[in-house]
A and B are shown apart, each in its own frame.
Chain A
Amino acid sequence: MDVLSRYEPLVEDFAAFEAACERPLPSVVRVNTIKADADAARAALAESGVDAEPIAWHDGLFEIDGQPGANWPYAHGWLHGQEEVSVLPALALDPEPGDRVWDACAAPGSKTTQLAALMDDRGLVVATDNNLGRISALRSNTERLGATSVAVTHEDARNHSLKPFGGDPYDRALVDVPCSCEGTVRKNPSTLEDWTMEHVTGIAGVQKGVLERAIQATREAEPSSTRPVRSPPRRTRRYSTTSSTPPTPASSSSTSRWIAVPASPSGKASGTTTASNAQSGYTPTSTTRAGSSVRSWR
């Protein structure tokens, strides 16, 4: 079957969507603000002879010629190669310095390190993954980027333990689940050859389990009447992705609906994962129905 045709009912301009999926992914780097700012990174790229074009919607992103890792600012951990669209989830989660944050499916750590940078490397980012090989990449990235507020755990996120961290719940959770991967088609065109609906429906159950654990592990909003006077109000925020699965009788009554976002905010075509991650606005409560996309906070 034509895998991407599943998106036709969801995408307004399907021809444009298909064309976007066939464009190769540009090489983009994110400035690691734990170690450098955008001006210094751009100057260092220029000194290294790398052409860097700023991405209009975010002053810490540059599109570059060639591999992200072959220059001085990368060697210093000033830069991290990260798809443009992959920068959005951590921005949506919007962590603050001092927060406790869980990154449930963290390797190889692009979003983990972005979260730590958004928090000025103060607070706690717990980065969980169930694959030791990928954890090795995660650790390598966190250390090269100088993120000292990150703790790495090897476990199934569905059974994540708060015990090593004192048992207190998180302020925020990023649930970037293992997925059906058709959104990676621009960097890995062969991904569609391995695609099966059986895998999608199987992985949807895992996704639901991880999201349920994230909801358990994040704090409830504190009513102002129960909050100590000196304690600032704490917002709880969760961001999750899921794969698109066909509606089931149990889920078809849900009010969730999909919108397509075939391009990044810069107007440049980007990874198609956004199309399966975006929902119409932010909902006030969490939804765990497999097959829906969920962003929620209280």
Chain B
Amino acid sequence: MSKSKSLSPVWWPLIGLAVLVAVNLALNPAFLNVTVLDGRLYGLPIDILNQGARGLVLALGMTLVIATGGVDLSVGSVMAAAGALAAVLLAEGHGLAVALTAGLGVGLLAGAANGLLVARFGIQPIVATLILMVVGRGAAQLMTNGEVVVIKNDAFAFVGNGTVFGFPFAPLLAIALFVAAQLFLRRTASGLFIEAVGDNETAARFAGLGAARVKGLVYVICGLCAGLAGLMAAANIRAADSYRMGENMELDAIFAVVVGGTALTGGRFLLLGSFIGALLLQTLTTTMYNLGVPPAVAPVPKAVLILVVCLLQSEHARRWAVSLVKGGKK
């Protein structure tokens, strides 16, 4: 147990994920079965990846924002706005490129607005992004007239439903983004810049870092991720539901990041941890379906597992648990 101090925080959500898969396998041996159907992979693990792709993309952007000590509450609403605009443009007969650009553009603009408020005007991130959380959904409802807009464009549906060599496209895209982000942030000094701003903004600025610019940029990236997630969500169900799309997704993204070992206080961030955290959340949801937990009860086991992983993540809680075990032996 003494080694636990040097253990990477990534292990704790991974252990949670492993336990979850083990429980599923014990109660339903077919849980990990993957077959090929109509030339595409078919099975619960594929569903988890496919449905979890949006959460993964959101968690990526959220990790960077949280690393600077901020938070972005607007991602769910930005998802709805991006998906709604893309759906409306497609319904008006515009092509795929226009829809995708517009959706990502919504994300970019939203991120820039958040970045401006937080980095330039020094407004608290919770308050600054809360504004767009409200406005974004309102804009989405305005664009769609409060109706569900159905998408008939097959090329667009590919973003959320397509397969590459039988493997679903959405998770592939999410994984590619994570790898690209990891390489870029860790092979260059940019990751360090973000951590420096999160650790101590004043010190970072005195060290000659454009702290405000770094902060602004992470919100732009987070906004772009939210825009992409919105496109994926709309493509997945071939419809933009401006009322419900992305609802509470901001909380899921924050959960994924925190469970993955990135502290809300900023500083050190772990992209791999967020990746596993997001997968853990989606696996939890699927587990409830797989085990037939009644929907009214389902939030309880979910909350318990998240609590356990959060406790494992806490140095104090671990030490306390160890001392309890040792104390018991005496």
Are A and B bound to each other? no
- Show the binding face of A for B, using Cβ within 8 Å: none
Interface residues of B (CB under 8 A from A): none
